[in-house]
């Protein structure tokens, strides 16, 4: 006799893919609000469970994480054509070996040595903003921050400026983000636009691959820079040295994952501080007290608590990665419900981070809540959770904190009057229309 499966509640029949695609944040929020901690729906031929409680997220990502892999998930399908079998896409023993190889380079003691790269790049950004500060012209802050974090990560990993490999690098990254950021349903509403994106993606992939391989080869021949080590130097001394293909996958993964999410975290932080001037005043007072007019270093980070908490709260309200997806390898049970092999199991940071059971006044921007560190495990997941928690989280927080402190020191950013701000849930959670702000002297 076949066991009678106990299945979670959820909407009957296949969900409206177009509606889900147009408003995914509303979709996952309504699922949790209507059906509870574990929900089930059918989408594009897949059975999808949404897990909406921190202990259940911990179970999927950590306690029984071996049963929930990344292979054949939507993220895998989007990222693998560009990133190959790097840390974001690999699984099992291959992933474990890659993680061991990369981990030493991302220890907090190591990433703090890159503070000079971070602050030098931030000074360059402020120099480029100077004409707009004088004229009051609006700035596409989200684009500028993406270029900044890309500059920082390429210098830290490869030891080169983007300018040194031509404008094409930044343009190629933009083209890739544009393509992989847009889910295309089976019935493509605009095949011509999709074809253009795909052609642009293919050209960008070839360019990024060529540049990355060339830089790796050059570093192998020249050896490490005696004046300033890079993350690439650390990788070349690691278990990855035997495979140029794997090294290429890893370097490109670190570049792509290491700039986009940090840029979005900073963008949302600046937006929220502008919308909450009382919080901005507290951050500014801290920066004045800790730094005065001098450039920050990594040693200042522990005292820049309000800067850090503002970033943490921005990542709670607008998590750069808003959905985690895994595929069940074998039958399992979650909260009393049966999980069949092949089920897509998803966790939404957007839902967890706004759950009123765990967060007081969850819709409000209240950075002080992060002065209270006690909260359920796997409730707050801006960097994911379990063994696969983001390897670059220390780098991201050092970078974001120092950049925010320097921006607060030098400018006051105000949203252009009437400019629409709306989150768009693609691969990352970005402002749909960008973020147009005016930089004024503080």
262-277 confidence digits (pLDDT tens): 999 999 999 999 999 9
Per-residue pLDDT tens over the stretch 202-228: 888 888 888 888 878 877 777 766 666
Stated as kind and residue range, the H or E segment containing 262 is helix 244-275
Tell whether the model's pLDDT for residue 185 goes beyond 60. no
The rounded distance, in Å, linking the Cα atoms of 429 and 431 is 7
CB-facing half-sphere around the CA of 343: CA atoms within 13 A: 23
User: Which fold is adopted by the domain 17-440?
Assistant: Cytochrome p450 (1.10.630)
The rounded distance, in Å, linking the Cα atoms of 441 and 425 is 33
Mean residue pLDDT across the chain? 89
Q: Which residue has the tokens 């574990």?
A: 38
pLDDT at 159 (0 to 100)? 79
Tell whether the model's pLDDT for residue 300 goes beyond 80. yes
Max CA distance (Å), the chain? 78
334: tokens are 């979650």
User: Cα(first)–Cα(last) distance of the chain, in Å?
Assistant: 73
| Strand blocks (E) in 203-243 | none
Regarding pTM above 0.85, the answer is yes
Name the region of 415 (left: φ>0; alpha: ψ -120 to 50; beta: rest): beta
Per-residue pLDDT tens over the stretch 87-129: 888 888 888 888 888 888 888 888 899 999 999 999 999 999 9
Q: Is 347 helix (H, G, I), strand (E, B) or coil?
A: strand
pLDDT at 187 (0 to 100)? 56
CB atoms within 10 A of CB 19: 11
């Amino acid at each position: 006799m076949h066991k009678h499966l106990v299945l979670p509640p959820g909407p009957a029949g296949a969900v409206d893919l177009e509606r889900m695609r147009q408003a995914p944040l509303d979709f996952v929020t309504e699922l949790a609000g209507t059906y509870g901690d574990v929900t089930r729906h059918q989408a594009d031929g897949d059975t999808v469970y949404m897990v909406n409680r921190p202990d259940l997220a911990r179970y999927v990502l950590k306690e029984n994480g071996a049963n929930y892999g990344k292979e054949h998930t939507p993220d895998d399908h989007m990222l693998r054509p560009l990133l190959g079998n790097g840390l974001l896409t690999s699984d099992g023993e291959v992933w474990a070996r890659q993680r061991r190889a990369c981990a030493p380079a991302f220890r907090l003691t190591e990433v703090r040595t890159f503070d000079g790269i971070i602050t030098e790049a931030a000074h360059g950004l402020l120099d480029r903003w100077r004409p707009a500060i004088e004229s009051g012209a609006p700035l596409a802050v989200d684009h500028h921050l993406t270029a900044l974090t890309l500059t920082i990560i390429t210098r830290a990993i490869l030891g080169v400026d983007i300018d040194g490999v031509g404008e094409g690098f930044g343009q190629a990254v933009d083209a890739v983000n544009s393509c992989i950021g847009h889910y295309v349903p089976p019935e493509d509403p605009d095949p011509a636009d999709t074809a253009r994106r795909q052609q642009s993606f293919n050209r960008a992939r070839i360019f990024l691959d060529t540049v990355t391989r060339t830089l790796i080869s050059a570093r192998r021949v020249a050896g490490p820079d005696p004046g300033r080590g890079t993350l690439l130097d650390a990788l070349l001394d690691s278990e990855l040295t035997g495979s140029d293909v794997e090294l290429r996958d890893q370097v490109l993964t670190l570049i792509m994952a290491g700039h986009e999410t940090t840029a979005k975290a900073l963008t949302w932080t600046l937006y929220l501080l502008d919308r909450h001037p009382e919080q901005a005043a507290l951050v500014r007072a801290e920066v004045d007290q800790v730094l005065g007019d001098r450039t920050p270093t990594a040693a200042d980070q522990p005292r820049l608590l309000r800067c850090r908490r503002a970033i943490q709260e921005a990542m709670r309200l607008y998590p750069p990665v808003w959905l985690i997806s895994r595929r069940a390898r074998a039958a399992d049970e979650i909260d009393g419900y049966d999980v069949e092999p092949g089920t897509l199991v998803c966790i939404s940071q957007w839902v967890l981070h706004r759950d009123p059971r765990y967060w007081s006044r969850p819709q409000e921007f209240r950075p002080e809540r992060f002065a209270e560190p006690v909260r359920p495990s796997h409730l707050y997941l801006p960097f994911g959770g379990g063994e696969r928690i983001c390897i670059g989280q220390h780098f991201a927080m050092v970078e974001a904190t120092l950049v925010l402190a320097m921006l607060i020191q030098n400018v006051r950013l105000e949203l252009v009057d009437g400019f629409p701000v709306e989150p768009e849930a693609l691969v990352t959670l970005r402002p749909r229309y960008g973020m147009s702000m005016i930089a004024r002297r503080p």
